[in-house]
């Protein structure tokens, strides 16, 4: 274990000394993320489309709706039933829906706020305004019962759509670049030199993978911070589940990188293998473009790529708070792949470049 720690430390040191590597891996993706975020920032100034269903239709609620209409940047549409509003939110035509109902048994007004979970900020923005409007019109705030009704919409903010996938995509990039770095060290005979020390294979692999796992964690935390500070992104889902998937993806791609390194004899070979994974991932796996917009045959091909599953799971967990148990088939499939990758990375590991 002690030796694994030294390997962890040394490779971490080497990674952070390579400025070009740092730029390409950390800052380039962060830069991309900011560009994506800024390109959709204008939507903050657009009017907020809200649908309202007033099932009470009293003087009090009418006054409240009129008050809401007076708010700047708010565009109200009245609907006759709740289902209609939900459908419009689902289709992305409305940012949020408001259903005003009476709870006769408790003599309260029920306020149901319908919206996509990734746009919860709009619901939180509406909540005090609605309460205020009802209070101002009747001054009986204790009788308002607010309920959030989160649904999945096809028209969420683009940044919210790409961000969870981008995290996994970056993890994949670092994992695969870790494999290339290993190839470079093998070519330079650094690994051969380590081979003639008491260091064992498993200690080396443990140290190396932990080093890249830590780099990924630092990167992911950095991206989350940028996303939160610049674009107000928050995980709607269970943060433990999100972390679990991120760590699993990190381990998966670190060991995939090692396997690709083991299968390649030269750095050039390794780069070709990486291209095979990264190039299709950029358009095929649903990171930037929704998978459903692609032809059926392409969607089927995308299922070969592990990134597709990771992106699908992380997006749903992060943006819609779906429980992990819903993805047991995908997680099981990924776990099976991971087991094979892990075993391959150990049994095919080579300290030396094959000589003629």
Partner 1 sequence: MLNLTKSYNERIVLNDISFSVHKGESLGILGSNGAGKTTLLETIEGLRVVEKGLVEVLGKDITKDYKTVQNMIGVQLQKSSLFGDLTVKQNIRLYANLYKNKTNVDALLDEFNLKKQKNNYVNNLSGGQFQRLNLCIAMINNPAILFLDEPTTGLDPNARLLLWNKILALKEKGTSIILTTHYMEEAQSLCDRVIIIHKGKFVANDSPENLIRGLNAPKFIVLKFNGKIPDNCFDNYDIHSIKDALYLKSDKPEKELVDIIKIIEQKQISIQNISIHESTLEDVYMSITKENYN
DSSP letter string over 240-295?
HHHHHHHHHHHHHHHHHHHHHHHH-SSHHHHHHHHHHHHHHHHHHSSSSS-GGGS-
179 close to 166: Cβ distance less than 8 angstroms: no
Query: Whose Cβ is closer to partner 1: residue 15's or residue 273's?
Result: 15
* CA 342 to the chain's CA centroid: 24
Question: With binding defined as CB under 8 A, does residue 352 bind partner 1?
Answer: yes
CA distance 182 to 144: 62
Query: Whose Cβ is closer to partner 1: residue 135's or residue 199's?
Result: 199
Shortest gap between Cβ of 196 and partner 1 (angstroms)?
5
Residue 76 forms beta bridges with which residues? 50
CA distance 100 to 87: 17
Shortest gap between Cβ of 199 and partner 1 (angstroms)?
5
CA distance 194 to 275: 29
Question: With binding defined as CB under 8 A, does residue 20 bind partner 1?
Answer: no
* Interface residue with partner 1, options 13, 47, 77, 243 (CB under 8 A): 13
Question: With binding defined as CB under 8 A, does residue 193 bind partner 1?
Answer: yes
Question: With binding defined as CB under 8 A, does residue 6 bind partner 1?
Answer: yes
Question: With binding defined as CB under 8 A, does residue 278 bind partner 1?
Answer: no
Q: What is the 3-state secondary structure (H, E, C) of 16-31?
A: HHCHHHHHHHHHHHHH
Query: Whose Cβ is closer to partner 1: residue 109's or residue 181's?
Result: 181
Shortest gap between Cβ of 183 and partner 1 (angstroms)?
15
Stretch that binds partner 1, among 60-68, 110-118, 163-171, 192-200 (CB under 8 A): 192-200
Question: With binding defined as CB under 8 A, does residue 347 bind partner 1?
Answer: no
Question: With binding defined as CB under 8 A, does residue 189 bind partner 1?
Answer: yes
Question: With binding defined as CB under 8 A, does residue 295 bind partner 1?
Answer: no
Question: With binding defined as CB under 8 A, does residue 196 bind partner 1?
Answer: yes
| Closest among 94, 230, 243 to 164, alpha carbons compared | 243
CA distance 132 to 6: 61
Question: With binding defined as CB under 8 A, does residue 199 bind partner 1?
Answer: yes
Give the footprint of partner 1 on this chain (CB under 8 A): 2-3, 6, 10, 13-14, 17-18, 185, 188-190, 192-200, 352, 356
């Amino acid at each position: 274990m002690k030796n694994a720690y030294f390997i962890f430390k040394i490779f971490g040191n080497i990674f952070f000394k390579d400025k070009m590597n740092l730029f390409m891996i950390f800052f380039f993706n962060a830069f991309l993320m900011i560009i994506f975020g800024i390109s959709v920032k204008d939507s903050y100034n657009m009017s907020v489309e809200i649908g309202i269903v007033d099932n009470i239709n009293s003087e009090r609620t009418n006054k409240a709706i009129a008050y809401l209409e007076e708010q700047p940047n708010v565009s109200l549409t009245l609907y006759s039933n709740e289902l209609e509003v939900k459908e419009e939110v689902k289709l992305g035509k409305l940012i949020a829906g408001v259903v005003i109902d009476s709870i006769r048994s408790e003599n309260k007004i029920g306020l149901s706020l319908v919206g996509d979970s990734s746009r919860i900020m709009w619901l939180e923005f509406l909540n005090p305004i609605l309460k205020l409007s009802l209070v101002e019109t009747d001054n009986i705030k204790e009788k308002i019962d607010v309920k959030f009704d989160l649904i999945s919409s096809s028209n969420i903010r683009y940044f919210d759509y790409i961000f969870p996938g981008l995290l996994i995509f970056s993890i994949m990039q670092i994992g695969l670049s870790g494999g290339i770095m290993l190839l470079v060290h093998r070519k330079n005979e650094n690994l051969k030199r380590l081979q003639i020390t008491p260091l064992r294979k498993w200690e080396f692999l443990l140290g190396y993978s932990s080093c890249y796992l830590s780099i990924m964690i630092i990167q992911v935390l950095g991206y989350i911070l940028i996303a939160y500070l610049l674009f107000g992104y928050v995980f709607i889902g269970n943060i433990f589940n999100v972390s679990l998937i991120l760590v699993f993806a990190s381990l998966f791609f670190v060991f995939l990188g090692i396997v690709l390194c083991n299968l390649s004899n030269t750095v050039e070979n390794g780069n070709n293998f990486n291209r095979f994974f990264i190039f299709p991932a950029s358009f095929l796996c649903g990171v930037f473009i929704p998978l459903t917009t692609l032809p059926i045959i392409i969607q089927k091909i995308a299922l070969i790529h592990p990134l597709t599953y990771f992106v699908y799971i992380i997006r749903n967990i992060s943006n819609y708070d779906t429980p992990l148990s819903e993805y047991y088939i995908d997680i099981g499939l990924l776990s099976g792949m991971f087991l094979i990758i892990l075993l391959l990375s150990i049994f095919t590991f080579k300290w030396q470049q094959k000589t003629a």
